[in-house]
Amino acid sequence: MTNPTAFIAPRTGKLIMRWLLFAILVAFALFYLIPLFVMITTSLKSLDEIRAGNLVALPVSVTFDAWRTAWASACSGIQCEGLRPYFWNSVLLTVPAVAISTLLGAVNGYVIAQWKFRGANLIFSLMLFGCFIPFQVVLLPMARTLGILGLAGTIPGLVFVHVIYGIGFTTLFFRNYYVTIPVELVKAAKVDGAGFFRIYWSIFLPLSLPILMVTVIWQFTQIWNDFLFGVSFSQAGTQPVTVALNNIVNSTTGVKEYNVNMAAAIIAAFPTLFVYAVAGKYFIRGLTAGSVKG
């Protein structure tokens, strides 16, 4: 005799487990979102309300004053221009640094993976080693180098630093991607008469979108969010947004303007969130590329 409930019981059990799993995942997601929630609500409150109210309560009256202040008139040290000039510094610094380091990494990876030469693996290992050198170690030598090059305290100087530091990672990404492409492709193109750059431009670059996205997101996040190089190698007027944010938050003249600080933090973090939202699907695709190749 078979008991009909014997069939139903494991199924219900499975269903309960499934829901439990979802519940736990949702709980974790909410937990991770709490800081963002606090930041956003706080940035929309007036100072009076913050002082009076509950940290996690929704704003009674929504005001964008704090955002306006953070963007255009918050004080960092003696200047009260908000984040705006520093935000543009960051843009001017990040865009060329990302572009140059990605480009160099792409060509490096192409050479190391597809144009094997004597010592290619050694050079690759050394570049890889560069990925593991902590930022702090290079501060002093880099300061000297920038001084000799006449780039100390300038945005091109910061671009230079980030390009140098990024090449290890970008080369690694591209090399690992190109190494999965059969070498016969280059051979066929050579027989067809194409040269080094023609082969790259016509055959490899069109294949590279996923890894290009991974590299751009990675580099953009690293360079935009960098604080240490920014604070070490910049001077008044060339500081990136992360340094300005720090200055705004730490300049205490009178009351702490939590709403302004929160708004400034969100503004400073916005570009990386934006890049990930736009190109995120390529990021996942790029990371898993190769593993599912037919």
Partner 1 sequence: MESMLEIQNLDKNYGTVEVLKNINVSAKTGDFLVLVGPSGCGKSTLLNCIAGLESISGGSIHIGGLDMTHVNPKDRNIAMVFQSYALYPTMSVANNITFGMKVRGVAKAERLSKLQSVAKQLQIEKLLDRKPSQLSGGQRQRVAIGRALVRDPKMFLFDEPLSNLDAKLRVEMRLEIKKLHHDLGATMVYVTHDQIEAMTLATNIVVLKDGLVQQIGSPDAVYRRPANLFVADFMGSPAMNLIPVKAISEGSVTRVQIKPAEGAPIELIDNFNGDLPEEVILGIRPEDIAEARLRAGEDTQRMKCRIDMVEPAGADTYVVSWLGGKQVTARLQSETKAKSGESLDLAFDFSKVSYFSKTTGERLN
Q: Are 291 and 111 in contact (CB under 8 A)?
A: no
Would you call 231 exposed, middle or buried from its count of C-beta atoms within 10 A (0-12, 13-18, 19+)? Answer: middle
Q: How far is the CB of 113 from partner 1 (least distance, A)?
A: 16
Q: How far is the CB of 280 from partner 1 (least distance, A)?
A: 23
Does position 167 bind partner 1 by CB under 8 A? Answer: no
Mutual orientation of helices 209-225 and 84-114 as an angle, nearest 10°? 140
Which residue from 62, 188, 278, 284 is in contact with partner 1, where contact means CB under 8 A?
Answer: 188
Nearest to 43 by CA among 15, 71, 62, 23: 62
Does position 106 bind partner 1 by CB under 8 A? Answer: no
* Distance in angstroms between the alpha carbons of the first and the last residue of the chain: 49
Q: Tell me the window of 68-76, 92-100, 189-197, 251-259 that interacts with partner 1 (CB under 8 A).
A: 189-197
Give residues 275-294 in contact with partner 1 (rule: CB under 8 A): 294
C-alpha 51 chain-centroid distance:
34
Show Cβ contacts of residue 14 under 8 Å, excluding neighbours closer than 6 positions.
none
Residues 120, 135: Cα–Cα separation, whole Å? 26
CB of 82 or CB of 109, closer to partner 1: 109
Q: How far is the CB of 293 from partner 1 (least distance, A)?
A: 11
CB of 11 or CB of 293, closer to partner 1: 293
Does position 10 bind partner 1 by CB under 8 A? Answer: no
Does position 194 bind partner 1 by CB under 8 A? Answer: yes
Does position 193 bind partner 1 by CB under 8 A? Answer: yes
Q: How far is the CB of 208 from partner 1 (least distance, A)?
A: 10
Q: How far apart, in Å, are the Cα atoms of 253 and each of 49, 77, 82?
A: 20, 9, 15
CB of 20 or CB of 209, closer to partner 1: 209
Which residue from 158, 167, 172, 189 is in contact with partner 1, where contact means CB under 8 A?
Answer: 189
Does position 190 bind partner 1 by CB under 8 A? Answer: yes
Which residue from 48, 137, 148, 184 is in contact with partner 1, where contact means CB under 8 A?
Answer: 184
Q: How far is the CB of 178 from partner 1 (least distance, A)?
A: 13
Give residues 195-224 in contact with partner 1 (rule: CB under 8 A): 198, 202-203, 206-207
How does DSSP classify residue 59? P
Show Cβ contacts of residue 268 under 8 Å, excluding neighbours closer than 6 positions.
83, 87, 241, 242, 244, 245
3-state secondary structure of 153: strand
Residues 186, 177: Cα–Cα separation, whole Å? 15
Does position 120 bind partner 1 by CB under 8 A? Answer: no
Q: How far apart, in Å, are the Cα atoms of 291 and each of 20, 69, 172, 180?
A: 31, 48, 16, 10
CB of 4 or CB of 294, closer to partner 1: 294
At residue 281, what is the residue type? K
With CB under 8 A as the rule, give the number of residues binding partner 1.
Answer: 17
CB of 10 or CB of 182, closer to partner 1: 182
Q: How far is the CB of 274 from partner 1 (least distance, A)?
A: 28
* Residues binding partner 1 (CB under 8 A): 182, 184-185, 187-194, 198, 202-203, 206-207, 294
